[in-house]
Amino acid sequence: MSTPERQTRDKERTRRAILDAAERIFTERGAQVSLVDIATAAGVTKGGLMHHFPNRDALLQAVYEHSIVRMWKEVRAHVDLSENRPGKFTRGYVRALTGDSEYLIDVFSPTGLIAVLGCVTPDEELNRRDAEAWNAAFAADGLPEGRALAVRFAAEGLVTALSSPYLTREQLAVARAELLALTEAP
């Protein structure tokens, strides 16, 4: 007999499997991929997918939210906790966006998940809360505001250019080193 706790875990696991599969399939094939293909990749039926996400728009919105959470996890995974000086979070951000996170490289690719999610009507409240959280994390990192902003958005530009012919791996390494140097206190 199943317990409510086990049913909840199974629902959460199934939902996560659908989101992971949708993220991967949308990245590979674009927003118009069939829900059957996503369900198959997740190991569920189309009805199972529809139980969690009643339509394509609901699935795309959930993938959008999932990608926000996942980006936070990726950045935190690249923060070196032994660096007990200002700029620790910003350095993790630079590392994650300039080559250490394959997930973020795929997401920020001009043909990647960000391009697919561009068709999602943004949840303004979610975006506002996420922007506030990022701004607070950078503000608490101990770097001058202008420097943190310049490093942050330069890293985002680099990850977007990474899959283009305009940025070589050697150029990325030079730019990454410069950004990391900017995160050190003067």
For the whole prediction, is pTM greater than 0.95?
Answer: no
Give me the percent of the chain exceeding a pLDDT of 70. Answer: 94
pLDDT tens digits, one per residue of 34-74: 999 999 999 999 999 999 999 988 998 999 899 899 999 99
Q: How far apart are CA 186 and CA 110, in angstroms?
A: 35
Predicted pLDDT of residue 3: 62
Position 128 confidence tier, pLDDT thresholds 50, 70, 90? very high
CA 108/CA 148 separation, integer angstroms: 20
pLDDT band for position 7 (cuts 50, 70, 90)? low
Query: Confidence band (pLDDT; 50, 70, 90) for 9?
Result: low
pLDDT of residue 42: 95
DSSP string, the chain: ---HHHHHHHHHHHHHHHHHHHHHHHHHH-TT--HHHHHHHHTS-HHHHHHH-SSHHHHHHHHHHHHHHHHHHHHHHT--TT--STTHHHHHHHHIIIII-HHHHHHHSTTSHHHHHTTS---HHHHHHHHHHHHHHHHTTTS-HHHHHHHHHHHHHHHHHTTSTT--HHHHHHHHHHHHHHTS--
Q: What is the mean pLDDT of the chain?
A: 90
